[in-house]
Amino acid sequence: MLRSCETPTEFRRNSVAARLSGTDMPDDYRPPMPRRNPEDIDLGAIKADLEFLIERFTRFRKEQALKPLYTMVGSAAIVIAWIELFWRHCL
């Protein structure tokens, strides 16, 4: 409830719910950048950039798909080589 000595702005500033919700902004808040004019936005360039990023991400996923298999095969080869060396030279 609003206390008799507080203005609505002071109440919002002191309110626990406002502090926890992340909506407690100063009264003189200005956005960091002005909004762009919708006619100035180049949708073709944005589409080209998105297609490029999608293609790169797809290629990256294909390249990374076999990494766990390579790791398992490499680890198995190291273990087999170590066992062979131990078997031949220590036993």
Q: Is the pLDDT of residue 75 over 60?
A: yes
CB 11 within 8 A of CB 2: yes
pTM: 0.38
Give the separation between CA 40 and CA 65, rounded to whole angstroms: 40
Helix (H, G, I), strand (E, B) or coil at 29: coil
pLDDT tens digits, residue range 37-70? 778 888 899 999 999 999 999 988 888 888 888 9
Q: How far is CA 22 from CA 18, 19, 31, 49, 57, in A?
A: 7, 6, 16, 33, 34
